[in-house]
Structure 1
Amino acid sequence: MALSRLAFVGLGSMGMPMARHLVAAGFAVSGYDIRPESRAVIAAAGGGKAETVSEAASGAEAMLLMVVNAAQAEDVLFAQGGLDALASEATVVLMATCPPQAVSALAAKVAATGRRFIDAPVSGGVVGAQAAKLTIMAAAPVDVLADLRPVLDRLGDRVFHVGTEPGQGATVKAVNQLLCGVHIAATAEAVSLAERVGVDLAVVLEILSGSSASSWMLRDRGPRMLEADPPVTSTVDIFVKDLGIVLEAGRGAKAALPLASLAHQLFLSTSGRGEGARDDSQVVGAYRALNGHTISGSSGPTR
């Protein structure tokens, strides 16, 4: 099935560049976001102007949802009339990070109307969205995914077919976020110990980054832990949400996840101190609070 008309809902820091990539690729994209300024930006970029969800969805052959959570997705599709406004054989592509059980329930409601559903969460953050280099973890029947590949290939450089059932993509994303969150927390713990004993943190990170102890998160987040106010690429509150989803997935599978639970508490305590909007590397502040010291510049601790 050739696709030409798309609806894109959720024009935030990731959704906006994603929608703009699709416009640049020649798709007719009607974008919607609760913020009028975001609707104006996508219209100025060549997208269709829509003042409501149903207007953006009207007659579209696919709707991509880059919203905050499953509750927002359900609201867009049902309370705001997005699903009914789509073409009768349209496909809903849920790209937000959501609990697997919630995705399965949402997919069943979509399927009951005769429309199709792809569970396709993404990894790569704002940088990946801007560069069209997201990793997309898609769960859908083979033929359904094949129809949407021209769209997904414009958004990511790695599109994986992880299963045929809704919820499988969300589960793979939960596994990914478990490791990301735990790796950030572990990096923060290592940095905190190095701070406590007063060694040169820049040298420590250089050593660790080239050793068997290294991880992508250590190399990326570690240097930002040495900054007093680093730029935000992903917030503390994103991991409060995502690790909460990980723990929900664990409960659903009756799987014990003690490391994920501890990491969640560290991010939660950082958010609870009013730092939820800061870069997620600042979970290191939870350790600094426990150990009674703070960072001064980028050279080490003040005790």
Structure 2
Amino acid sequence: MTSTDTVAVLGLGAMGLPIATRLAGAFAVRGHDIAADRLCLAEQAGIAPHPTARGAAAGAGVVLLAVRDAAQLEEALFGPDGVAGVLDPGAVVLLTSTVGREAVPPVVQRLRERGVGLVDAPLSGGPARAGAGDLLVVVGAEPAALATARPVLERLASTLTVVGDAPGDGQALKTVNQLLCGVHIAAAAEALALADALGLDPARTLAALEAGAAGSFMLGNRGPRMLEAYDDDGAEVLSRLDIFVKDLGIVGDAARTAGLATPVAAAAEQLFLLGRTQGLGAADDSAVIRVVAPGRRGGTETPGA
């Protein structure tokens, strides 16, 4: 029997685990991940770990997917351990990942044949904000499916924007969001690299920029991690660089389909592609500064020192 109080979270990575932990404060949460260490961390956070996705999803009213791309979405639902076959009619799949608008309609149709809804709800904000319920979530969903998933979404989001009644509408707005995010990260990398090349202290420069009109969320969030990008271990990986290879690829595909030129986004995409080619794909996306400036001229001082 399906229970709307039971949520399955499939994918306990950098975003999935804090999401599941946040939900565990209000719902009975089951978690699945292919990595055993992530299941151990989930259990410590009060999440019921399951060795299979199907075991986690059976009987759940909402199945939240935190996957990387469209291929993983297809695998999670319809692959050998795909959960679509164990979902009860009336259950809802809550897609939180950025997979692109074109990937959604075929999935919606296959789920609809089983009486299962899909809520297209890509989110933005990073792991810390996920754990605090402070995410931006943009939603495209039919009203009935949205009503089932809304308590889960409201637990996760500080800003919940319903952009349309069709799954895929959320992906469309997230594509626009990722265009800006990718460009802003690339621009922050160029600015801090230029400051260093001009002999300015990067940390002092970052503090000054954040206080003025040039400040942005991405500068404030990624900037400090860019200052760690040249350390032996680099910055802590909170968002992999190759995620923006995927996301800006989605932006480019969407723009071409719409017949729109996006030259700034295309230039940013090239920086992330170069980073992946240089072996930085699994590094934090702030490491894109090492593509702009492979070496660093100056040192870093603490602002106010």
Instruction: Report the TM-score, using the length of structure 1 for normalisation.
Output: 0.90
CA contact (8 A) 1:94 1:121 kept: yes
C-alpha spacing 1:253/1:46, structure 2 compared with 1 (3 Å): same
3-state DSSP of counterpart to 1:113: coil
Q: Displacement, 1:212?
A: 2.0
Q: What is the CA-CA distance between 1:44 and the residue it aligns to?
A: 4.5
Paired position in structure 1 for 2:277:
272
Given that 1:94 and 1:119 are in contact with CA atoms closer than 8 Å, whether structure 2 keeps it comes out as yes
8 A contact 1:226–1:295 mirrored in 2: no
The Cα offsets for residues 251-283 of structure 1, whole Å up to 9 and x where unpaired, read as 232222111111011011122111222222221
Q: Deviations over 1:101-129 (max 9, x none)?
A: 00222222212222111000010111111
Distance verdict in 2 for CA 1:195–1:171, change over 3 Å: same
The residue number in structure 2 matching 1:106 is 107
Residue-by-residue CA offset, 1:216-266 (whole Å, 9 max, x unaligned): 212222233233233332221221121112112222322221111110110
Distance 1:49 1:207, change over 3 A: closer
- What residue in structure 1 maps to residue 261 of structure 2? 256
Alpha-carbon deviation of 1:24?
1.9
* Cα distance, 1:96–1:252 mapped onto 2, change above 3 Å: same
Match of 2:167 in 1: 166
1:5-154 to 2 correspondence within 5 Å?
5-25=6-26, 27-79=27-79, 80-154=81-155
Shift in CA distance, 137/295, structure 1 to aligned 2, threshold 3 Å: farther
Q: Distance in 2 between matches of 1:29 and 1:39?
A: 12
Tell me, what secondary structure is at the counterpart of 2:155? coil
Amino acid at match of 1:282: A
CA distance, structure 2, for counterparts of residue 192 and residue 45 of structure 1: 39
User: How has the CA–CA distance of structure 1 residues 203 and 60 changed in structure 2, closer, same or farther, with 3 Å as cutoff?
Assistant: closer
Query: Distance in 1 between the 2:9 and 2:238 partners?
Result: 22
State the shift of 1:65 in Å.
0.4
Per mean C-alpha deviation after superposition, the further-off stretch among 266-275 and 1-10 is 1-10
For the 8 Å contact 2:121–2:139, the answer to whether it is kept is: yes
Residue 245 of structure 2, aligned match among 222, 226, 240: 240
**Structure 1 residue 5, shift from structure 2 partner:** 2.0
How many aligned positions are there? 295
Q: 1: distance between equivalents of 2:226 and 2:39?
A: 35
Question: Residue 298 of structure 1: SS of its match in structure 2?
Answer: coil
In structure 2, how many angstroms separate the alpha carbons of the residues matched to 1:70 and 1:97? 8
Tell me the C-alpha RMSD between the 2 structures: 2.0
Give 1:296 deviation, angstroms: 4.7
Aligned to 2:60, the other structure's residue is in SS state coil
Name which of structure 1's ranges 117-126 and 193-202 shifts more when overlaid on structure 2.
193-202
Contact 1:62 1:86 in 2 (8 A): no
Q: Distance in 1 between matches of 2:176 and 2:145?
A: 24
Change in CA separation of 1:266 and 1:8 when aligned onto 2, cut-off 3 Å: same
Q: What residue identity is the alignment partner of 1:233? A: L
Distance 2:94 2:144 in 1: 14
- Whole-angstrom distance in 1 between the partners of 2:39 and 2:204: 46
Q: Distance in 2 between matches of 1:262 and 1:193?
A: 17
Provide the C-alpha distance between the structure 2 equivalents of 1:297 and 1:197, rounded to a whole number of angstroms: 12
8 Å Cα contact 1:225/1:282 also seen in 2? yes
Deviation of 1:2 after TM superposition, in Å, equals: 7.4
Amino acid paired to 2:47: G
